[in-house]
Structure 1
Amino acid sequence: MSAVPEHLRKVLAVVPTLGERTDTLGPALASLTAQDGVECTVVVVAPEDAVEARRIAVAHGGLVVDDPGRGLGAAVNAGIAAARDERYFAWIGDDDAMRPGGLRTLVGLLERAPDAVVAYGGCEYMNHEGHVFAISRLGRLATWVLPWGPDLIPQPASLTRLDHLRAVGPFDESLRFVMDLDMFLRLRRRGRFVSTRHPVATYRWHPDALTVANRDLSIHEAEQVKRRHLPPPLAKLAWAWDLPVRTSIRIVSRRLTAKARP
């Protein structure tokens, strides 16, 4: 990475928070500010009354942006709007973390593939006690199944070129659970995705996570999003694979929840 000009290594990292997980927000921000080989601008999107979360953000050198109060998609869009001259975009939850060297690895993937729009890596699954109980590292397979199968690209372990993100428009604020899937499908039309199986981020799996606690609603929303991105002839045949995909997602989700228990 030393050969890459400094202005090409600037990353905008957005961390939306409601201010309810102040115990994990600090470590999440610290994992971003400690990244080497890149210049990381951390933007924390929080409600005005989330006083402690805002204090933690400032203590870690983060820029605080007001949450518009229209859901997760709107919060991420508000964070992106604070971008200056950054070249790349990352987004993690307030209880996730970027592994040491994770952003450097993802930037390197994109710099070696000028035609790529998204880079992603493996992702560790951690329970609320900090124990890693599973690792997602499917590599290129995750890109292949994206249009019709489950979304296996870990959002915290992904990095997107900001110019392509702006070209396809903001995150869909009408979506409650799968705004990242919709964005990936839009970006997929602009260029290829590159990946590594090496873990670059950590995702905290717990029963009250938005998509975990609302699995059936999340599955239904994902099916609707995938249909609107498919060519009309294929969209009419989606019922043929929706049921097995739906079943597999539920089975894997239950197993991960069981493993996440102490």
Structure 2
Amino acid sequence: MTHDFAAGNYRFIPAVFQYSSGAAAASGYEIERVRFDRLVPLAEGFAQVAAYIQAAGRPLTAFCACELRSPAAFTEDGFLKFNQHYVKTLAQWGIFDGTTNPVARSNVCPEIDPPAEPSFYAFSFTRPAQGIGNGAAPSFVIAGGAEARGGAGSYPERIVRYRDLSPEGLQEKVRFTTREMERRMELFGFGWNDTTAAQAYSIRDFHPVVADELVRRGALRSGLTWHFARPPVIDLEYEMDCRRVLREVVI
């Protein structure tokens, strides 16, 4: 089930308080993705995001997705504290109401040359469709998802093949995550054939399962961007996100 966030002109898949599972532009609107040429620390990043969105003539509530980079994987308690800090700005912007958060997010940890503090890598927002070429076509961003089942319980209880780095264990982790991307897209009425980009985050060698678990399912329609980074919580090993965005810039 998806919900409307009318103030931002997009739909979203409800998930947890810190992020949604995905955002899709409302009819007549499109998503623009903006990537920073260099990582920008969180507070400064939020300021630059606000300036960019407002310069585009859009309200801050148009902010619909972001991609973050953190120094290292968090403990469960550390992740909770980070998220409680992160949503304060979204509350100030009139996006987070204290319970529901429509903004999709990926937050991963580069294994080599990580940032000194949590930082922005990219963000997305909605704007009126430009109507040039495929400009009015649907657009969406699916949030980062790793091999952790939903529901109650600690991460060790929910992680698929917990601490299993065998070839079979990694394959099951990749399979679970790929299927989760598909489930989220289906809620918006989309599939791999609609995507313009897919990203994977892992420091493990998942190449042996790429053909069966990704290529044959159509996940690599537009190729795959692999970031040598860990998912945000200790003991998670593989994460993905994907999107259909026709307007992307680097600043």
Tell me the TM-score normalised to structure 1 length: 0.31
Greater strand content: 2
Relative contact order higher in (CA < 8 Å, ≥ 6 apart):
2
Greater helix content: 1
Tell me the TM-score normalised to structure 2 length: 0.32
